[in-house]
Structure 1
Amino acid sequence: MKEIIAIIRPNKMEKTKEALDRLGFPSFTASAVMGRGHQRGIAGEVTTPIDTKMKAAEKGIGMKFIPKRMISIIVDDNSVDEILKTLIAVNQTAQIGDGKIFVCPLEGAVRVRTNETGTDALI
């Protein structure tokens, strides 16, 4: 099993959810997160009001942190490539700030309600 963690633009969340659902992976965990990369934030990209504490001090441009969405999907090893291709296809704009995807090994899973383990706990 693997955990796929994707950090994406907030405006790509709905399309990402729809694409994963079409693939047969409707279950995932999503969180609103803040972060930044080498670009140090693109203030014009964010459509919500920016708290002055979040704006960067350098020349009044950029932000200390950018709002993003983080999704976590637990899948069997055979599904990783298909999900990665889909995440990239939906989220790639060829612009700075498209995000990152991490694939992590996962030792196990347990469904609390039934005590199912491994991949049986995922479905």
Structure 2
Amino acid sequence: MKEIITIIRPKKVNATKEALVQLGITSMTAIPVLGRGKQKGIDGEVNIEYRKGILEQNKGVGMKYIPKRYLCLVVSDENAVAVIDTIIKINQTGQIGDGKIFVCPVEDALRIRTDEQGEDAIN
């Protein structure tokens, strides 16, 4: 099993989720997060209201942090490549801020309600 962690633009979450459902991947955790890459944030990347004074604080240096979405999925080894390819296909624009994908091995999984273990617990 693999844990796939991806950080993407908020406006790409629904398209990513729909594409993963088409693959049969329906379970994921999505968390709103703030972050930045080595470019130190992208001015004008987002169209949302900010806490008063936040933009003035960062004038001339880019935003300290921008809103992103953190998605976490645990999938079978057989599905990992298809999931990664799908996430890239939906989120890759070629522009700074497209996001990151991290792939980690998962030793085991347990479903608390039924005591299922391993891949049975994630399907």
Is the shorter-chain TM-score for this pair beyond 0.5, marking a shared fold? Answer: yes
Match of 1:77 in 2: 77
Q: Assess, with a 3 A threshold, how the Cα gap between structure 1 residues 116 and 30 changes in structure 2: closer, same or farther.
A: same
Q: Is the 8 A contact 1:4 1:102 kept in 2?
A: yes
5+ residue gaps, structure 1, are none
Which residue of structure 2 lines up, in the alignment, with residue 6 of structure 1? Answer: 6
**Aligned-pair distance for 1:55?**
5.9
Q: Which runs of 5+ in 2 are unaligned?
A: none
- Backbone CA RMSD of aligned residues: 1.4
What residue is the counterpart of 2:95 in the other structure? 95
Asked if 2 retains the 8 angstrom alpha-carbon contact of 1:2 and 1:104, the reply is yes
Cα distance in 2, alignment partners of residues 78 and 109 from structure 1: 16
2: CA distance between counterparts of 1:121 and 1:54? Answer: 45
User: Could you tell me which amino acid in structure 1 is paired with residue 85 of structure 2?
Assistant: K
In the alignment, which residue of structure 1 is the partner of 2:54?
Answer: 53
More helix by share: 1
With normalisation by structure 2, the TM-score equals 0.93
User: Aligned letter for 1:3?
Assistant: E
In the alignment, is the contact (CA less than 8 A) between 1:56 and 1:62 conserved in 2? Answer: no
Matched, 1:117 2:117: yes
TM-score (norm 1): 0.93
- Percent same amino acid at aligned positions? 52
Q: CA deviation at 1:57?
A: 3.2
Give the partner amino acid of 1:73. Answer: L
> How far is the alpha carbon of 1:38 from its aligned partner?
1.3
The Cα of 1:50 is off from its aligned counterpart by 2.4
SS in 1 for 2:6: strand
Rounded Cα–Cα distance in structure 1 between residues aligned with 2:30 and 2:22: 18
**Residue aligned with 2:90, SS:** helix
Aligned to 1:86: 86
User: Any idea what SS the aligned residue of 2:63 has?
Assistant: coil
Q: What amino acid sits opposite 2:25 in the alignment?
A: F
Shift in Å at residue 116 of structure 1? 0.3
SS in 1 for 2:38: coil
Pair 64,78 (structure 1): closer, same or farther in 2 beyond 3 Å? same
- How far did 1:56 drift? 5.3
Residue 34 of structure 1: how far off its partner (Å): 0.7
